[in-house]
Amino acid sequence: MDTKEKDFLGSGWAFPVTFSKGNLELNLTKFEENINDSIDIILQTNIGERCLEPTFGTGLNRYLFDKMDESLKGGIIDTVKYSLLDNEPRIEVKNVVVTFSEEQKGTVLINIEYIYNKTNTRHNYIYPFYIKEGTSLNLKH
């Protein structure tokens, strides 16, 4: 697919926001990378966090410290599918698979399989989500 055919995928600010060293210009992403950045932003945003878009995001933080079981997997799958359906019109989510990769550390991998609406090109994106955030702190009294 050449650049002309990919224009519908869009471009925007890189996430996280960064600037180039030489001329201090804002770094931008294009095409597939821009969609992955968009997915990342949606998954990291809590519901209500954006005052002008109160339904934007997933609110995955509601699952922090939950028991790692099939109920948690189902909740995350539904949350991710519906938030991407509502917030990222350039893709169609085909499947979301949640796996517990490091249960002691609370690491959950969210594998999102999707296609671009305009070209039916398949892609996937893996997002690491940490259920037990901040538990690796060494507290000394």
**Where in the chain are the domains?**
3-130
For the chain, what percent of residues have pLDDT higher than 70? 76
Asked if 12 and 29 touch (Cβ cutoff 8 Å), the reply is: yes
pTM above 0.75, yes or no: no
**Token pair for residue 12?**
């925007």
- State residue 22's pLDDT score: 75
Which fold, 3-130?
Answer: Nuclear Transport Factor 2; Chain: A, (3.10.450)
- State residue 117's pLDDT score: 78
- pLDDT of 136 > 70? The answer is no
Strand order through the sheet with 122-130:
91-102, 107-116, 122-130
